[in-house]
Amino acid sequence: MYVHKETLTINDPKTLVLTEALPFPKGQRVEVMVMAYDDGELESLRSIIQKHGITESDVEDAIAWARANS
């Protein structure tokens, strides 16, 4: 399965405008799934991260650990 991920801001609810060309040939059948961010939830998460002093390096270390142990 090939995946293309891009974060967009919706200006017209009937149209998605991509900033990059899709890496699929013309005629390729694809499945489209759209997920919306919950800004309140994101701000809450940022607050928790800041409160606990979690750094980007901490996150990278945790990701590396999880990948090595999965």
Locate the DSSP E strands across 13-54.
Answer: none
pLDDT at residue 65, as a whole number? 93
pTM for this prediction: 0.43
Q: Convert 18-31 to b/e letters by CB count within 10 Å (16 or more is b).
A: eeeeeeeeeeeeee
| Rounded CA separation 70/67 (Å) | 5
pLDDT tens-digit series, residues 8-44:
888 999 999 998 888 899 999 999 988 887 777 778 8
pLDDT at residue 25, as a whole number? 92
Locate the DSSP E strands across 1-70.
Answer: none
Element (H, E) at 67: helix 56-68
